[in-house]
């Protein structure tokens, strides 16, 4: 059994992931900023922890992470507000990376997106630009850390039923992937130490998730 903390615990991927992890016998703490979401988190078997990472300091976040075996960063501002996008997807993510190092939590998995990076190619006048910039900065900070990190790069997210199958990039055609399958990828990655130091871009495909992840060892 592992103790895992999910940052952004009420997100659609996070709720699915918490349900998978607790069903496997893990102890999950889900950080949320809205107390109205506590019941939803409890339904997954996870323990809700009120923590607005957008406004917490690195030290405060470290206090929430301390004692866990792994961190999953799945928080996001949800788009529409560039200032909040930078505040959550970049600044809070970076503080959580620094906090994990301070708290001695070595395993860190972040949900990014397919094609993220400084050469993302999104025009500055595109509404997606702040998100692309924020993710590039957070991913870069994580790669430069001494954490056992894995960056997940799913393609366009859907609410489709899980298929249990994916196709790995970077040569995979950019398409779509269900949030349920992203959660399953995250769960398997957490249980696969050999994925540390890897960026995994993927979409739905024809390879069973466990097989695809095993191929990265």
Residue 191 structural domain: 3-214
Helix (H) or strand (E) holding 171: none
CA 128 centroid distance within chain = 18
Give, rounded to a whole angstrom, the gap between the first and last alpha carbons of the chain: 22
Question: What confidence tens digit (pLDDT) does each residue in 177-186 have?
Answer: 999 999 999 9
Summarize pLDDT for 93-126 with one digit per residue, the tens: 999 999 999 999 999 999 999 999 999 989 999 9
- pLDDT the model gives residue 171: 63
pLDDT recorded at residue 30:
98
Q: How far lies 21's CA from each of 45, 52, 89, 185, in Å? A: 9, 23, 24, 12
Say how far apart CA 32 and CA 168 lie, in whole Å.
31
Nearest residue to 159 via CA among 183, 135, 189 = 183
The total of structural domains in the chain comes to 1
How far apart, in whole angstroms, are the C-alpha atoms of residue 192 and residue 120? 28
- pLDDT, the chain, mean: 95
Q: Which residues of 16-41 are buried (b: 16+ CB within 10 A; e: fewer)?
A: bbbbbbbeeebbbbbbbbeeebbebb
Active site residue 108: no
pTM for the model: 0.95
Nearest CA to 38 out of 60, 18, 58, 62 is that of 18
CATH code, domain carrying 63: 3.40.50.720
pLDDT of residue 1: 83
Q: Which of 18, 116, 22, 26 is nearest to 72 (CA)?
A: 18
| Tens-binned pLDDT, residue by residue, of the chain (217 aa) | 899 999 999 999 999 999 999 999 999 999 999 999 999 999 999 999 999 999 999 999 999 999 999 999 999 987 779 999 999 999 999 999 999 999 999 999 999 999 999 999 899 999 999 999 999 999 999 999 999 999 999 999 999 999 999 999 866 666 899 999 999 999 999 999 999 999 999 999 999 999 999 999 7
CA distance 33 to 50: 5
């Amino acid at each position: 059994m592992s103790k895992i903390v999910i940052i952004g615990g009420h997100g659609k991927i996070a709720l699915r992931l918490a349900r998978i992890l607790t069903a496997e016998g893990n102890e999950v703490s889900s950080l949320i900023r809205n107390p109205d979401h506590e019941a939803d988190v409890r339904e997954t078997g996870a323990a809700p922890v009120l923590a607005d990472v957008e406004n917490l300091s690195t030290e405060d976040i470290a206090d929430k992470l301390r004692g866990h075996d792994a961190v999953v960063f799945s928080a996001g501002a949800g788009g529409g507000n560039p200032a909040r996008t930078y505040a959550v997807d970049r600044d809070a993510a970076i503080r959580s990376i620094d906090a994990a190092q301070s708290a001695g939590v070595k395993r860190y998995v972040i949900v990014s997106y397919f094609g993220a990076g400084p050469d993302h190619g999104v025009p500055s006048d595109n509404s997606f630009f702040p998100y692309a910039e924020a993710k590039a900065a957070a991913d870069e900070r994580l790669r430069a850390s001494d954490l056992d990190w894995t960056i997940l790069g799913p393609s366009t997210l859907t609410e489709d039923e899980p298929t249990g199958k994916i196709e790995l990039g970077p040569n995979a055609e950019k398409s779509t992937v269900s949030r349920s399958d992203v959660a399953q990828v995250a769960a398997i990655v957490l249980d696969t130490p050999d994925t540390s130091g890897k960026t995994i871009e993927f979409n739905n495909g024809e390879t069973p998730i466990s097989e695809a992840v095993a191929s990265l060892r």
